[in-house]
Structure 1
Amino acid sequence: MRGDAVRRLLLTAPAARPGNLARLRLRGIRVRGELDLADAAVATAVRLRDCVFDTAPRLDGARFEALQLTGCELPGLHAHAASTAREFELEQCTVNGTVDLRSMTVGTLLSLRDTVVRPAPGDRGHGRDADARTVLVAKQRGLRPTLPRPGRLWSVLQDVTVGFGYRPLRAVGLLVALIAAGTTLFALRHPDPVGDGPHPPFQPAIYTLDLLLPLVDLGQERHYGPAGAMQWVAVVLIGTGWLLATTVAAGAVRVLRRT
């Protein structure tokens, strides 16, 4: 079935009966040629199941009532600034190319469950890996409402710190900020030496790193102990260090499983 024929079906579908929602379902078809719905208004809820696209659908700026693609194969998907009044579901699909969902607005449910995105070889090194990472992060966010409360909290922490493993530079930025804050505070209020015997010269930056990095002994934490309010600063740095290390490890495992 040609892409322009599918376009006509979507744009000229009969109106629904009062009180009902118009729906258009297509199953098992091969769409030849480009399906171009850029800036179009599709008044029906669209569901495409087990369809194969020869060309990446162009949905930039399109407005849908609802859009569901299930079990489809696509060489890409362009939906920049598209919107749905209700759900947008891209489930169990295989996408061998760029997926662009930037600035997309979804009215109710966003689901990317079990969809696999494989950037085309020519996309690497041209900024399109970032598009794929954006989709993978959105997929994890879409799974969040299905998790129990502790799982939702853990999902938020991984999202904020490392982007579920797909944005590791966030962790680097957070670590640098914590080191800077700790160094400044401990430079202003030195902790007291602990125990007898010689002590190495106190170094605020190394001391902060010693608190932040789990299972690493830089020789400062065991020789100096904070007092008063600075004890709480140390507790926060230690806890944040463990949390950051755990989320980085979980994100790394997720990425390695994909590769």
Structure 2
Amino acid sequence: MRDAATADEPEEDGSGWGPRRTVRAEVVRSLLLGGADTRPGETPVVHLVGARVTGRLKLVFSEACCVLRLEKCWFEEPPQLYGAALHVTGFGGSYLPGLSINTVTVAGNLDLMKTRIRGMVNLAGARIDGSLLLQGARLSNPGGVALDGSRMEVGSGIVGREGFRAEGEIRLHEARVGEALRLEGAHLHHPGGDALCAESIQVGSRIDCGEGFRAEGAVVLTSATAGRAVSFRGATILHPTGQAVDARHLQTGELDLRTARVEGTVDLRHGRLDVWHLPPGTSPAPVHLDGLTYRALEPHLPVDRCLSLVTRDPDGYRPQPYQQLAATYQAIGHDDDARAVLLARQRHRRATQRPLGRVWGHLLDATVGYGYRPWLAGLWLTALTLLGTAVFRAAHPKPVKPGEGAPFSPLVYTLDLLIPIGGLGQRNAWYWPSDPVQWLAYALIAAGWLLTTAVVAGVTRVLNRS
């Protein structure tokens, strides 16, 4: 119905189209419900291009016998297709002041490509055997819900690539998607609220919000499941006043956050991943990690880089993220990195303790690295032995019982002071007339006990957690 002279006319200007391009909605309805000529084995098509549809196209609990293709049409009122059974249906390139198509059954694709819809698109409870096609669509319902696909079932995929734009929330609560949710390059605008809310969505393969995806508002994937992957690679998500990405209890094979720009926090608590793809640099967004489990980290980054994610957790000290990261390093044979993570855990925990516990923690850290660096005790023992030997060699002790006992040996005497259990026969055989030297002997005895206690406590701590 549309000629070449008007082929590029904006759909929003359809109110001025004349009678030659006007079709009443009742006529379209009549054709869909059996008014079209049919032949056995064929499915007729109602196909309009560039028409102005007046009145309300209403198919409530009706069964269409035709494929419906309304391309580049202008609708006076929002179509209402509640509970209808439809064949392949398309509104490609059309302008609509809203669309109510909830609880419908579509035996094929639902085509909304390049549509302009001002008002809510209601797809709640719909079942689409093929795909929901949103490429190039513009949905606008500022401050409200632009598309409500709650409890929707899509046999193939939801495709919102190639310039898809939405002003208002995209809501996909408990939706079921057979293959993929593809939103690469899509722009969602709902600042201060949820730009994409897909709580408990189940997707057979992947959720792709990368490669130019931009959300001004939060992306919510709480309790979502994606069989293969969830990707935010190259995405921009802006919700600086709260959680930019809420993916608590997310279950997927791979989570990709590489090159993502996120303003706000990322919540991954209690998620289950096989592989977590980390940003190559320090993530600017704090990440909630308590309860998150994963099998591998990609790429293999220095341990300090991975630790920065854990130490910046907005929830403060939580033991589980450290244990998970250490277990991941142990699984690939990087035991030194695992020990570094567990040592960082003890240091972070120390900041939460009472003053006496912090003092004891500092002592364990300095002497044996909480048991993860036992060689520190050897360094302390060597240093104290050298100090004692040098001082005692320069001084002149007196025997407790003249003429009895072994000759004085500065090295053996120092070791006898440092070893708290047993004896080498020197400690009780000699004393010092000089108070400073005698006080050094007492200090070495105390240091020996402290070192021994710290070593036992640190090693016991490690063994109890192994």
Matched, 1:204 2:419: no
**Structure 2 counterpart of 1:176, which letter?**
T
Tell me the residue number matched to 2:245: 24
Residue by residue, what CA displacement relative to the aligned partner does 1:20-45 show, whole Å, maximum 9, x if unpaired? 3453211222232352426x543221
SS of 1:101 mapped into structure 2: helix
Match of 1:179 among 356, 367, 385: 385
Contact preservation (8 Å) 1:81, 1:101: yes
Matched, 1:135 2:341: yes
SS of 1:49 mapped into structure 2: coil
Match of 2:438 among 215, 231, 237: 231
Tell me the residue number matched to 1:8: 232
Tell me the residue number matched to 1:123: 332
Cα distance between partner residues in 2 of 1:59 and 1:196: 73
Tell me the residue number matched to 2:266: 46
Tell me the residue number matched to 2:419: 213
More strand, by proportion: 2
What is the CA distance between 1:75 and its match in structure 2? 1.7
* Closer, same or farther: CA 149–3 of 1 in aligned 2, 3 Å: farther
Cα distance between partner residues in 2 of 1:172 and 1:148: 29
Matched, 1:65 2:285: yes
Identity of aligned residues (%): 35
Q: Which runs of 5+ in 2 are unaligned?
A: 1-202, 210-229
Cα distance between partner residues in 2 of 1:186 and 1:159: 29
Match of 1:244 among 451, 462, 466: 451
Residue by residue, what CA displacement relative to the aligned partner does 1:37-79 show, whole Å, maximum 9, x if unpaired? 26x5432211112211111432341332311112111124456
Tell me the residue number matched to 2:359: 153
Cα distance between partner residues in 2 of 1:195 and 1:82: 59
Cα distance between partner residues in 2 of 1:160 and 1:234: 22
What is the CA distance between 1:154 and its match in structure 2? 0.3
* Closer, same or farther: CA 216–56 of 1 in aligned 2, 3 Å: farther
SS of 1:55 mapped into structure 2: strand
Cα distance between partner residues in 1 of 2:252 and 2:338: 23
What is the CA distance between 1:215 and its match in structure 2? 1.7
**Structure 2 counterpart of 1:31, which letter?**
T
Instruction: Give the number of the structure with larger relative contact order, counting CA–CA contacts within 8 Å between residues 6 or more apart.
Output: 1
The answer to which of 148-157 and 56-65 deviates more is 56-65
Number of equivalent positions: 236
Contact preservation (8 Å) 1:53, 1:73: yes
Contact preservation (8 Å) 2:303, 2:341: no
Cα distance between partner residues in 2 of 1:30 and 1:145: 33
Contact preservation (8 Å) 1:82, 1:105: no
TM-score for the superposition, normalised by structure 2: 0.46
Tell me the residue number matched to 1:86: none
Contact preservation (8 Å) 2:234, 2:258: no
Cα distance between partner residues in 1 of 2:458 and 2:303: 28
SS of 1:114 mapped into structure 2: helix
* Closer, same or farther: CA 103–53 of 1 in aligned 2, 3 Å: closer
CA RMSD of aligned residues (A): 2.9
Tell me the residue number matched to 2:307: 101
Cα distance between partner residues in 2 of 1:164 and 1:222: 33
Contact preservation (8 Å) 1:111, 1:142: yes
